[in-house]
Amino acid sequence: DPEQNSDTEIHTNFGLGAGGDAFYIIDTNGSTVIDSYEFGPQSENVSEGRLPDGTGSFQPFALGGPTPPSPGRSNAIQPPFISSVTQDPLYPTSSDSVQVTAVITDDGGVQTATLHYKVNNGAFTPVNMSAAGDNYTAVIPAQNTDDVVRYYVTAEDGIASSTSPLGAPSETYLYVVGFEAPTVVINEIMADNVVTLLDPDGVSEYDDWIELHNYGASPVSLDNLYLSDNTITPTMFAIPNGLSIPAGGYLLFYADNTIAQGDQHTNFALSANGDEIGLYGANGLVAIDFYDFGNSDPDESRSRLPNATGDFSKTDNATPGFNNDDLGIVISNVSHDPVQPNAGNSVVISATITSGAPGGTVDSATVTYVINNGVE
């Protein structure tokens, strides 16, 4: 930390490179190397330390993991590890108290576990959590409809402490009393649509798209719901009032940053280099569904398999607007003849089209074309 070198003797006149570096402990003679360590590219909030202390090989210590960084103290002394925090019920009403359960482990034993909660803009109230093995529980009393309840968990072992979420109390878990999540999931997305799905509201546009699916037995209104590709701004795109999904139905949104094209066009686009997409309610406070994805190849979709309930899987066989289990229609080997037509030549378009479903058939196929700037 060379910028702070004048403040105190514990600051050096050099920094370490996150892309990889090395450092040495040199004897007072200026030439004898007492110890050294060479390291490669670093990850954010991950340190490297000897375990056991002083004699062991260097190992990564990840913030939030079972062996987090331990600056200024023994690497062998680790704080309690909070591996999960859950609440029941997930969507409480005004008559429901909420039980919060945390799974906490520690190499020397947990001394205290505390639930901290607050209602709306009030102060946090601490509640001691009861232990049953590694499970620690506490109860938040029933609150009024539309109250926003935020909470976090702390654990101490007499030497060190941990919080969940890691950024608590600035970051917390929360629920909104009386909010009932709709039977809607993000069912399929495509972040690099090259030739899979033509935007029906544009001119020869192949936009990113997001498929929502209502897995319930009744129609669902999308009023007061939001889509966003940024957790910091969950209310980025307010779904226009009046849109709904029939029971068992699907609805596509085109993530093209062009809301002027219609109600199903968002004010953001998805990144093929990796992005996130969330469906939010309760003024953006509650994440109804969320998906964080990495790099996407051209025309590669991410689909829930099994449909509606499964985890997301990569597939080259997209099914926009349909059940993911049906595997969709596969279009390949598209060509035109002649390759370089002259004036007056008609052009034959050929394609191989198959149904991805076992025993499935293709009912019809349509070619859409545009001449200059005309209509399709």
> Tens of pLDDT along 120-138?
999 999 999 999 999 999 9
CATH number for the domain formed by residue range(s) 184-326: 2.60.40
Please state, as a whole number, how many other Cβ atoms lie within 10 Å of the Cβ of residue 327: 19
**pTM of the predicted protein model:** 0.66
Say which CATH superfamily domain 81-176 falls into: Immunoglobulins (2.60.40.10)
pLDDT at 227: 99
* Burial of residue 177 (number of CB atoms within 10 Å: 0-12, 13-18, 19+): buried
Q: Where are the domains of the chain?
A: 2-62, 81-176, 184-326, 328-376
**Per-residue pLDDT at 327 exceeds 90:** no
pLDDT at 328: 58
The arithmetic mean of pLDDT across residues 58-79, rounded, is: 75
Q: Is the dihedral of CA 292, 294, 297, 302 positive or negative?
A: negative
Q: Which residue type sits at 29?
A: N
* The domains spanning 81-176 and 184-326 adopt the same CATH topology: yes
Percent pLDDT > 70 in the chain is 92
> Tens of pLDDT along 33-60?
888 889 888 888 889 888 778 888 888 8
Q: Which residues of 270-281 are buried (b: 16+ CB within 10 A; e: fewer)?
A: bbbeebebbbbb
Please state, as a whole number, how many other Cβ atoms lie within 10 Å of the Cβ of residue 72: 4
